[in-house]
Amino acid sequence: MPVNLVEPENLLAIDGVRLSAGASGIKKNGATDIVLIEICEGARCSAVFTQNRFRAAPVLISEKHLEKTPPRLLLINSGNANAGTGDTGYNNAVNTCELAATALGCKREEVLPFSTGVIGENLPVECFENSLSDIVGLLDSNNWLQAATGIMTTDTVAKAVSTQFEIDGETITITGIAKGSGMIKPNMATMLGYVATDASIDSDLLSECLKSTVESSFNSITVDGDTSTNDSCVLIATGKAKAAGINVKDQRYDTFLKALNKVMQTLAQAIIRDAEGATKFVEVKVTNALSYADAKTIAYTVAHSPLVKTALFASDPNWGRILAAVGRAEIDKLDVDKLSIFLDDVCIVKNGGRAADYTEEAGQRVMSQDEISITIDLVEGDDSAIVWTSDLSYDYVKINAEYRT
């Protein structure tokens, strides 16, 4: 069951964006498996993609198309990753772009393809041939929830959020969706994420906003340490809002960036709350480090540790596992005699050893919660980092052992 995560409500339309979803037969259970996101002319779009060297065909094509022209349509399928499929997979992805472009009435290069699902199986192009015209006919600005549902694989809850704020007295809206539950340790973005706003913003600033907010959201989560072949995150700005354009780094930029970061973090945390087999949502925070890189490395080392994650699942305050994970983090300098570790407000380690006033009962109280904060104070510098993760349960093993059966 997801950890304190419910179906999204009150998703707000973005002027200049229409969405649709339908079942094409890619998923054998008849569930929704193709999603379209239509983008108005004149919109600006930025994207980041996986750094996995086995990059899926749709990733390669999306990057190529983005270099040529602004996109008019995002074509997303779930149930098949079209990764590890060689030339056949590449050609299949090109063909689906051609089919989508014909159905919408745009150029093939104006279509960005995205896929998620099982790796190593050829994409059934006939499913697109038989369904795209009908799905194009369903395009509507209020279909965000349908789209969020259509991109799911092992997710149990759709992940979506909207927010509104003001710039110069005018309302700006941001709405985003994401998917992901396993194979989660993004190295650029997240599994699949699509965020749109009606703000008008300079292209270079939009790209900066995306990279900045991805780093503090999707690049700060992990379920199992596995970076997908298909990770992609797209940010769209239609420019339809009445507010003045954001062209420089001023107060308007800061206001937009803050709101966008909130959306991105909400989506990223939703992925962890719905992690495969998760029973706990865990924040690992490293403070007073010599550098952000050091803090992030230590946070990820703790968050990736199978021993830490299984102790979390068992609600076992085995603080030695956390201490050991910190000690093996690959950073240049660590003074173990100075650091402290906390479970929520309970100090478990002080000056490198067990805190004098720590009790097993106090640690047990925190570890029994379904939301836990682990804070590691290095007492070295001024930098900090946060990573969100989940526990490692029997169900995680079961879900992934039976994924293709």
Q: Report, as residue numbers or ranges, the catalytic residues.
A: 190
Tokens of 373: 């904060």
A 10 A CB-CB count for 154 gives 17
CA neighbor of 378 nearest in space, from 273, 296, 276, 258:
296
**How many Cβ atoms from other residues are within 10 Å of residue 356's Cβ?**
8
Query: What is the side-by-side order of every strand in the sheet holding 159-167?
Result: 44-49, 232-237, 192-197, 170-179, 159-167
The b-or-e profile of 36-48 (16+ CB within 10 A means b, else e) is bbbbeeebbbbbb
- Which strand ranges, in their side-by-side order, compose the sheet holding 73-80? 17-22, 34-39, 73-80, 111-118
Structure letter (DSSP) for residue 41: T
Beta bridge partners of 114: 76
- Quote the CA–CA distance of 376 and 373 in Å, as a whole number: 10
Q: In what order do the strands lie in the sheet with 383-390?
A: 221-222, 383-390, 281-289, 371-377, 340-343, 346-350, 353-354
Amino acid at the residue 280:
K
Alpha helices in 4-85 (DSSP H): 57-68
Smallest CA-to-CA distance from 184 within 52, 84, 358 is with 52
166: its two tokens: 């003001």
* Tokens 């021993």 sit on residue: 307
Q: Which residues share a beta bridge with 173?
A: 164
Q: Is 216 exposed, middle or buried (0-12, 13-18, 19+ CB in 10 A)?
A: middle
When computed from its CA atoms, the radius of gyration of the chain, rounded to whole angstroms, is 22
What gap in Å lies between CA 394 and CA 312, rounded to an integer? 12
